[in-house]
C-alpha cells in the first residue's frame, strides 16, 4: 500500500467475498448422505473457527470476539470481530447487552457452509462463502492463494471492493490506498495456469470481480467409490463438467 500521512484513522473499508464450489458424483441416496456427512464433519463450526484463526494470523489481525454455530441438519457459520491492533481494556465499554469498539465495527471475518444434495440428480455440491472486511492497513488480498489451495476449489468467485474514503493531513481524500487492476494481480502464476477465468472490473468504483473454473479435473477426487464406477467414467465426467459449467456460467445448460 502507498505510505500516506493520514489525518487520524484509515477509514477505507476493504471487503473481499470469496465463494468456492466443490462437487461430487453420488449415485445413490446412501452415497449422497455419506458425502454430506463427510463435508459436515470436515467443515463443522469448531474446525472452521480454527481455520479463521489461521486467516487472522496471516493477515495480521487481532481477534476480539468469536461467534460460531452448527445447524441442523447440515451447515455451519463462524464470525470473528477483528482489529488491526490489540485492544486495551480501557478502550472497551462493556455492559450486559453490548460491547462497543471504536473504529473496529467494520472489521470482521465470517464463513458459511452450504452442503446440497438433489433428489433427482447424481451430483451433490458443497459451497463455502467467506467474507473478510477490514479497515486500516490489514489487507484481505494477502490470503487469496492460501484460500484457493486450502479448499482445492473446482469453481471460485471472488469480488473485492474498497468503500469509503480517508484523508491525509492536509484534507485530501483518498478512495483507494493501493494499486490494483484485477484480483488476478494477487494470484500466483501456478494457480492462474490451472484455471480459466472471467474478469469484470469497474475501476472508477473500485469494484473488482473474478470468476474461475478448473481447466482439468482428476476424476478420482470427484467420486466416493472410484473402483465401483470405473466403467462409467466417461459418462460421469460429462455429468460433472455439465454441473461445473452451469455453476460457472450461472444458468442451466
Catalytic residues: 107, 112, 135
- Nearest in space to 11 (alpha carbons), one of 182, 177, 222, 193: 177
Residues 93, 102: Cα–Cα separation, whole Å: 9
Is the separation of the CB atoms in 42 and 151 below 8 Å? no
Please report the beta strands in the chain, taking only residues with DSSP state E, as ranges in sequence order: 13-25, 62-70, 76-83, 92-94, 99-101, 108-117, 123-135, 155-163, 166-167, 173-174, 195-202, 207-214
Instruction: Please tell me the number of Cα atoms within 13 Å of 206 on its side-chain side.
Output: 16
What the block records as the C-alpha cell of 203 is 475501476
Cα dihedral 117, 112, 210, 150 sign: negative
Which residues are CB-contacts of 70 (< 8 A; sequence separation ≥ 6)?
Answer: 44, 45, 76
Residue 32, sorted as left (phi over 0), alpha (psi -120 to 50) or beta, turns out to be alpha
What the block records as the C-alpha cell of 235 is 459418462
Amino acid at each position: 500500500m502507498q505510505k500516506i500521512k493520514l489525518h487520524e484513522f484509515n477509514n477505507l473499508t476493504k471487503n473481499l467475498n470469496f465463494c468456492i464450489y466443490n462437487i461430487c458424483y453420488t449415485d445413490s441416496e446412501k452415497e449422497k448422505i455419506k458425502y454430506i456427512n463427510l463435508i459436515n464433519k470436515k467443515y463443522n463450526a469448531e474446525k472452521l473457527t480454527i481455520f479463521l484463526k489461521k486467516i487472522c494470523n496471516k493477515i495480521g489481525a487481532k481477534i476480539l470476539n468469536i461467534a460460531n454455530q452448527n445447524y441442523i441438519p447440515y451447515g455451519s457459520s463462524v464470525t470473528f470481530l477483528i482489529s488491526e491492533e490489540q485492544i486495551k481494556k480501557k478502550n472497551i465499554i462493556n455492559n450486559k447487552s453490548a460491547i462497543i469498539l471504536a473504529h473496529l465495527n467494520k472489521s470482521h471475518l465470517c464463513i458459511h457452509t452450504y452442503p446440497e444434495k438433489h433428489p433427482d440428480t447424481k451430483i451433490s455440491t458443497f459451497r463455502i462463502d467467506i467474507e473478510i472486511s477490514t479497515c486500516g492497513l490489514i489487507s484481505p488480498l494477502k490470503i487469496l492463494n492460501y484460500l484457493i489451495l486450502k479448499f482445492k476449489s473446482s469453481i471460485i468467485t471472488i469480488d473485492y471492493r474498497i468503500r469509503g474514503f480517508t484523508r491525509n493531513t492536509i484534507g485530501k481524500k483518498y478512495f483507494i490506498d493501493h494499486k490494483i487492476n484485477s484480483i488476478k494481480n494477487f494470484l500466483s502464476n501456478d494457480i492462474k495456469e490451472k484455471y480459466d477465468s472471467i474478469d469484470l472490473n469497474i475501476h472508477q468504483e473500485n469494484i473488482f470481480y473474478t470468476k474461475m473454473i478448473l481447466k482439468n479435473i482428476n476424476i478420482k477426487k470427484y467420486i466416493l467409490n472410484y473402483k465401483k464406477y470405473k466403467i462409467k467414467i466417461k459418462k460421469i465426467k460429462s455429468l460433472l463438467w455439465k454441473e461445473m459449467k452451469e455453476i460457472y456460467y450461472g444458468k442451466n445448460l
